[in-house]
Amino acid sequence: MICISGSSAGSAPRRSCGTGNFEGVYRVGGHDVGRYLCFIDKQGHVASIVWTDRRFDIMSFAWRDDLLLAPLFESWQKGVGPTV
Q: What is the DSSP letter of 21?
A: S
Strands of the 46-53 sheet, one edge to the other: 2-7, 22-28, 31-41, 46-53, 58-64
Instruction: Give the chain's domain count.
Output: 1
Which pLDDT score is estimated for 11?
41
Which of 37, 31, 23 has the alpha carbon at shortest distance from 2?
A: 31
* pLDDT score of 83: 57
pLDDT at 82 over 80: no
Return phi, psi of residue 39, to 5°. -160, 160
CA distance 11 to 42: 19
Model pTM greater than 0.75?
no
| pLDDT tens, position by position, 14-57 | 567 888 899 999 778 888 999 999 999 989 899 999 999 999 99
Domain membership of residue 63 as a residue range: 2-80
Answer for the pair 80, 74: CB distance below 8 angstroms, yes or no.
no
